[in-house]
Amino acid sequence: MARKKIKEETNSSEQIAPIVDQPITETVEKNYMPYVMSVIISRAIPEIDGFKPSHRKILYTMFKMGLMTGPRTKSANIVGQTMHLNPHGDASIYDTMVRLTRGNQSLLHPFIDSKGSFGKQYSTSMAYAASRYTEAKLDPFCAEIFRGIDKNAVDMVPNYDNTTTEPVLLPTSFPNILVSPNMGIAVGVASKICSFNLAEVCDGTIQILKNPHTDVDEMLDIIKAPDFAGGGYVIYDREEFTSIYKTGHGNFTLRAKYRYDPKANCIDILEIPYSTSIEKIMAKLMELVKANKLKEVSDFRDEIDLSGFKLTLDLKKGTDPDALMAKLYRLTPLEDNFACNFNVLIDNVPKQLGVIDIIKEWIKFRMVCVRRELTFELGKKNDRLHLLLGLAKILLDIDKAVKIVRNTQNDRDVVPNLMQGFDVDEIQAEFIAEIKLRNFNREYILSKINEIESLKDEIEKLETLISSDAKLKNYIASQLKEIKNKYKKDRLTEIIYPHEIVQYEEEDTVENYNVKLVFTKEGYFKKVNFNSYKTSEEQKVKEGDEVIVAEDGDNLTDLLFFSDKAQCYKSKASAFDCVKSSVMGEYVPAKLSFDQGERAIFFCGVKEYFEDKYIVFIFENGKGVRVPLSAYETKGNRKKLTGAYSQNSPIAAVLYEDAPFDMLILDSSNKAILINSSLIPIKTTRNSQGVTVFSLKKGCKVVGAIKNFAGKSSGGKSLRKTKIPATGVSYGEYELSENQIKLI
């Protein structure tokens, strides 16, 4: 009723717009895609000159302000002038400008010579001063990014309000895209480009100019690895760098550089990875201190001053600085990964390119710039030659030229009369007419005419250069050699190789002491301090449970727990708390996250995985096998091994052999054999089912084994067997009170 009333009150001439179904794809295309493309093209992704639009606008504004020479000017003045090209606000302009300065230390080759506080790349809390307090000008290095810009090297387009023009790209005379690090996040596209050493990049580009078919291996020998303004070390993984150079995608590892001061017993960290900050490192150090995982350090502090970066760690007496740093590299951002994603805008299309492909794209771009620049110069020289050829004609009769000018009554007729008198065009006649009277002499005119031959030679060379790709590439290569010789710097980020690195092992920094390792039949484990164990012979266990293993070890011992599901769980003794004998201990399946319904049946502590030590498995079907202890050694920190032993038959007993021993094996019919463990064959495969040791009657099975059995049978036949398989002998009524069958 309400809707009907509204319609009646609505003017008949007005019509409610109908609701039209619109596919979501069409909505996205019309409403969202323009924004997406704007962010990708106009904001976040660098182009082949190595700049985003925001960088380009700032640098070009400073260039037009004449800041290539002369004194610095206030940053606020630069920001204000840049707003003629960038209307997004002064804060964002200044924030972008800061990163380009020498003071911020973000770039290997800064573009802005700065004075004042511009913050630091390695600190998030060290804020830069307001633009009214700082000063800046262009660094002389910028001459290389503007080379040829006043000679039509690149296209110029109107600014946002059509009051001036700006360059689409800067005609960088070196591959700045690889020399200046760059990062940007657009919509659906991101870019993260690391920096490389200028001299190496120039050499690599020259190599590509000479041989476009240069492969990645050759390039890796020239452009060895990334180089950052923050210094530090880069860990050289040739395989990973090969992938990065080919695809533009991959990761490499950076680590901090430090110095140990023995007098003060402290470590001074002087350079950190480019991808982290001192605040992140200190926050992680504090976290480790609170977790009691950094006992080697008594204090740490930020000692950054005018001399540069320094993070100092005071060490406790007896601490090995190299071992501590190996630990800190593992646990803190002092070692950090740099994820490469070389997305570059090529003709307004984002492309992921490897290093060689980026260089090739830059060469294409640079050849266009240089050709346009040379064409501009050629035009100027042709214009100059044209004027001088006209001047040469009056040399034949200077008096005639003077007479024509003197006898011409009206000023406007001078040029037409000269054109008629000497058969020159209007431009040439205008040039002749503008010559001062004092220069109407043979010496002046001859000096100008002598330029004609040199101009002709220069024009011929330019025409040859412009028309030949090979000569143009040689010309670009000569520019790169010049740039390298003028601006090259030694690598700041040193290359180290994996074999040079001290690996952090957790046990290196874990306190070590002797302990007693106790394991019960029900799967409880405890690490008992030696003193507590000596003073209390009785171990507290759960009702109905009993201790089946009590062996010596230390806090660094490896613990192997075998389950009834043929799995082996590994741990360190240091992972368990040291307790008194009066404590029941921890339930191993819960502590080590055993599978549902799985229980622990055997334990042994291992210091070294010797090949002549064995785990002996006896199965219910009468088979047995010895597996070398070394078969359970793993690389890394694997916590679980499947297929620890054969599952063809249920397990009856597991024993540890460090030397051959006698064992009593019993079956369900109360028969037994006594054999030496050396009779059981060795198999290197963990899940080997072994060989028959005990010949069982139908319906019988092995129920257990006793290690180092010393009892006697009440039967007349001997239990001792010297060959396998062996038939069991009746065990009689012997009481097994002290030699209870155990899985040990």
CATH code for the domain in which residue 463 is found: 1.10.268.10
At 486 the three-state DSSP class reads helix
Task: Flag whether 217 is in a domain.
Answer: no
Whether pLDDT at 207 is above 70: yes
Whether pLDDT at 10 is above 50: no
Mean pLDDT of the 168-183 span: 95
- Ranking 18-32, 98-112, 316-330, 646-660 by mean pLDDT, the lowest is 18-32
DSSP code of 88? S
Query: Which H, E and C letters describe 260-278, residue by residue?
Result: EECCCCEEEEEECCCCCCH
**CATH number, position 302:** 3.30.1360.40
Mean pLDDT of the 431-454 span: 80
- Could you tell me if 321 and 450 lie in one domain? no
How far is it, in rounded angstroms, from Cα 541 to Cα 521? 10
For residue 450, the model assigns a pLDDT of 80
In what helix (H) or strand (E) does residue 203 lie, and over which residues does it extend? Answer: helix 198-210
State pLDDT tens for residues 470-499: 999 999 999 999 999 999 999 999 999 988
Mean pLDDT of the 62-71 span: 94
Question: Which amino acid does the sequence have at 187?
Answer: V
% of the chain exceeding 90 in pLDDT: 53
Provide the pLDDT confidence category of residue 375 given band limits of 50, 70 and 90: very high
Whether pLDDT at 17 is above 70: no
How many Cα atoms occupy the beta-carbon half-sphere of 472 within 13 Å? 20
Whether pLDDT at 715 is above 80: no
For residue 189, the model assigns a pLDDT of 85
Whether pLDDT at 49 is above 50: yes
Mean pLDDT of the 363-372 span: 96
Contact predicate 196/174, CB 8 Å: no
**Token pair listed for 38:** 């704007």
How far is it, in rounded angstroms, from Cα 728 to Cα 719? 8
Range of the domain at 406: 360-487
Report how far Cα 515 is from the mean position of its chain's Cα atoms. 43
Q: Which residue numbers are catalytic?
A: 133
For residue 532, the model assigns a pLDDT of 65
Task: Flag whether 195 is in a domain.
Answer: no
Who's near 617: CB < 8 A, 6+ residues apart?
A: 624, 625, 626, 627, 645, 646, 651, 653, 654, 690
- Could you tell me if 556 and 477 lie in one domain? no
- Ranking 96-100, 214-218, 370-374, 735-739 by mean pLDDT, the lowest is 735-739
- Could you tell me if 661 and 587 lie in one domain? no
DSSP code of 196? B
Task: Flag whether 376 is in a domain.
Answer: yes
Who's near 109: CB < 8 A, 6+ residues apart?
A: 139, 141, 179, 180, 198, 487, 489
For residue 418, the model assigns a pLDDT of 87
Q: Mark which of 575, 601, 627 sits at the end of a domain.
A: 601
- Could you tell me if 661 and 734 lie in one domain? yes
How much is the mean pLDDT over the chain?
A: 87
Task: Flag whether 5 is in a domain.
Answer: no
- Could you tell me if 261 and 371 lie in one domain? no
- Could you tell me if 741 and 613 lie in one domain? yes
Model-wide pTM > 0.75: no
For residue 216, the model assigns a pLDDT of 93
Whether pLDDT at 442 is above 90: no
Task: Flag whether 409 is in a domain.
Answer: yes
Who's near 407: CB < 8 A, 6+ residues apart?
A: none
What's the total number of domains in the chain? 5
For residue 464, the model assigns a pLDDT of 94
- Could you tell me if 59 and 91 lie in one domain? yes
Provide the pLDDT confidence category of residue 732 given band limits of 50, 70 and 90: low
Whether pLDDT at 120 is above 80: yes
Count of helices and strands (H, E) across the chain: 21, 36
Whether pLDDT at 738 is above 80: no
- Could you tell me if 475 and 373 lie in one domain? yes
Query: Which H, E and C letters describe 104-132, residue by residue?
Result: CCCCCCCCEEEECCCCCCCCCCCCCCCCC
For residue 421, the model assigns a pLDDT of 86
